[in-house]
Structure 1
Amino acid sequence: MSVSSSALPFEDIRNLVRTMPTADTGAVEAARLRDAQLTKPAGSLGKLEEIAEWLAAWSGPEWPKVKRPLVAIFAANHGVTAKGVSAFPADVTRQMVENFSAGGAAINQICIAHDLGLKVFELALDYPTPDITEMDAFDEAGCAATMAFGMEALAGGTDLVCIGEMGIGNTTVASALLNALYGGTAADWVGPGTGVDDTGLKRKCAAVEAAVARLGGEKDPLEILRRIGGREFAAMAGLVLAARHQRIPVIVDGFVTTAAVAVLQAMDPGALDHCLFAHVSAEPAHERALQAMGKQALFDFGMRLGEGTGAALAAGLVKAAAQVHTGMATFEAAGVSGKSEA
């Protein structure tokens, strides 16, 4: 799929969702046939076998491989931080982006450990989106253009992409998006984020309540994103949509990234079939969000850092699953007796 640098109207985005390719069932069957011939009891590698099939479904070849994995981090700032919803000032977003560039962050080390590429995309850090308790985050053109930017972030080629984010205040935005999409109260979706105290938690709840109330019951997922989202959310949603059209498997990180892609699933229940969810965040509402979406994460390590760290760890598992599937010998090639017929 190719996209221009001009803004995509929402109707064009809806059309991209309507025309998403489906899984390659032939490749899945071929992967299952090969798996049945490998030197191991059937099903003995559990989730690794499922991951290999998922790779085949979205990358096509009978022997799925991961040769060019990429972690894509989108960084943005949010006007809602003026409401005291974070334990850290907005300046930390830029400082952490500089830390990524210097190789000093946790995500840098995980990428080194698993041989993953890393790209960081700054989204107008000096111009935060408006305070969503008072104003819309975007106009339609701005939201669509940011989604298009996310789509173009795949340029250069990759065969597995992990999405991550950095943005002081973005757990508040994520909570507002999920509250608007799935209902309940603000308290159902708000957590400590970067470590706010009880007073800060009350401010976050109040901000989410105000942002969602301002929607007036709006149910259109793209309008919800436009009005109470943020730049990294729109960009990640755009990347995931483009990845679907290019048949690139995606690993979703934690709470904030889940909120971003939930917008797409709200548009089409199958929109995230090409995605794996890496981990259950320690942010309390993440598990609630996964349950609402009918998704199951690969692991729960009590993480809540963001930066794509959980997705990058999961990429190591995906690479291992691909290597096992492609590198193991078959019973015939190894001269090992297969299961006897009773």
Structure 2
Amino acid sequence: MNEALERLVHSIALPDEEAMRLAAAHLDQLTKPPGSLGKLESLTIRAAGITGQPKPELSRKAVVVMAADHGVCEEGVSAYPAEVTPQMLLNMLAGGAAVNVFARQAGADVICVDMGVNADVSHPSLLSRKIRKGTANMAKGPAMTREEAEKAILLGAAIADEACDQGIQLFVTGELGIGNTTASAAVACALTGLEPSLLVGRGTGVDNEGLNRKTAAVQQALSVNQPNREDAIDVLMKVGGLEIAGMAGLILGAAARRCPVVLDGFISGAAALAASRLCPASLDYMLASHVSGEKGHVVLLEILGLEPMLQLDMRLGEGTGGVLSLHLLDSACAVMHEMATFASAGVSDGTGVPEV
């Protein structure tokens, strides 16, 4: 790990236990039976620990959509051609993708980042952080160099840092790139030691023949590259993607600024697993939005120890599931700021003695 990454990892603090204690105490004073808001209460307490605020304020939100292409598409792993990546990126920049619709509804910004699209994309709203035009075919050799993997992580962290400086208080991980569920499955297999058959799913909706090609490509990539399970950067370099490494960096950068990171689906899960291996403390800053229809996602969530807020059988990516869960986070925070206490409402707290 290079020096800049070492500094980033060591800058991530543990959650604020006093803020969590105060949040829990305030929840118990609100006009409701203790614990009656269920998981919303534990979500609020976690947000308090992350931010250091007993009454968390998370009104400024952004979904960061990192886009990149994958050389492994040469192996026929997707139902769509690689040309779709830049086309969909332009659609997103124009506000026409599903994530744009959901983000407008949730009051979240959409930040699109070109980490490695295999085309020249230009748009006033695009953050161009292109490291290279797509990864190499990991079924034949390393996807990228170690320096490129480290650069992608650091660029992701810098994006979080810049957004925090502009007032963003919460991040959602999003991604775009044909072939990225293949790379994510390879990363997950390499970091966990699990067989590809347990983690490789249908992605864009490949048929049985396509699924077999995809599983074989992941198996071949692992065999050819022999990624080191104990070295997350080696794994990202050999079988990862530029956007996956970028999302891992985004998670670390957000954690360093005490901002919650809402994870989207399977690809975000692979990035989160890599981030947690680089810095175990970063796990405390991650919130799981949903469990996707991609079969490996539930496995990753179990390994990460994260419980999803929603289960909608979604597998679109882009950050869509993450953005949908923001409504629950908004409600959890609003309760802390707006709900009356027993004392302020003049309601008995259950002890038989009305508070004044």
Question: Smaller-chain TM-score range?
Answer: over 0.9
Query: Does 2:153 align with 1:147?
Result: yes
Which of 295, 307, 330 is 2:306 aligned to?
Answer: 295
| 1:83–1:48 distance in 2 versus 1, CA, 3 Å | same
Partner residue in 2 for 1:236: 247
- Note if contact 2:12-2:281 (Cα within 8 Å) is conserved in structure 1: no
Superposition deviation, residue 144 in structure 1: 1.3
Q: Deviations over 1:27-74 (max 9, x none)?
A: 111111111111111101011111111111011122111121111110
Superposition deviation, residue 268 in structure 1: 4.2
Aligned-partner SS, 1:162: strand
Superposition deviation, residue 19 in structure 1: 4.3
Query: Does 2:252 align with 1:252?
Result: no
Give 5+ residue unaligned stretches, structure 2: 119-132
Which of 101, 107, 114 is 2:99 aligned to?
Answer: 107
Partner residue in 1 for 2:276: 265
Partner residue in 2 for 1:340: 351
Q: Which amino acid aligns with 2:301?
A: L
Return structure 1 stretches of 4+ with deviation > 6 angstroms.
none
Partner residue in 1 for 2:198: 188
How far apart, CA to CA, are the structure 1 residues paired with 2:91 and 2:208?
29
Which of 172, 180, 183 is 1:173 aligned to?
Answer: 183
Which of 130, 133, 148 is 2:139 aligned to?
Answer: 133
How far apart, CA to CA, are the structure 2 residues paired with 1:29 and 1:341?
25
Q: Which amino acid aligns with 2:220?
A: A
- Note if contact 1:84-1:200 (Cα within 8 Å) is conserved in structure 2: yes
Of residues 14-23 and 77-86 in structure 1, the stretch that sits farther from structure 2 once superposed is 14-23
Query: Does 2:85 align with 1:93?
Result: yes
Query: Does 2:192 align with 1:200?
Result: no
Q: Which amino acid aligns with 2:303?
A: A
Equivalent pairs, count: 334
How far apart, CA to CA, are the structure 1 residues paired with 2:314 and 2:115?
25
Superposition deviation, residue 132 in structure 1: 0.7
Superposition deviation, residue 140 in structure 1: 2.0
Root mean square deviation, CA, Å = 1.5
Q: Deviations over 1:273-298 (max 9, x none)?
A: 11101111101111112122222211
**TM value normalised by structure 2:** 0.90
**TM value normalised by structure 1:** 0.94
Partner residue in 2 for 1:72: 64
Give 5+ residue unaligned stretches, structure 1: 1-8
Aligned-partner SS, 2:283: coil
Q: Which has the higher contact order (CA 8 A, sep 6+)?
A: 1
Superposition deviation, residue 200 in structure 1: 0.7
Aligned-partner SS, 1:271: helix
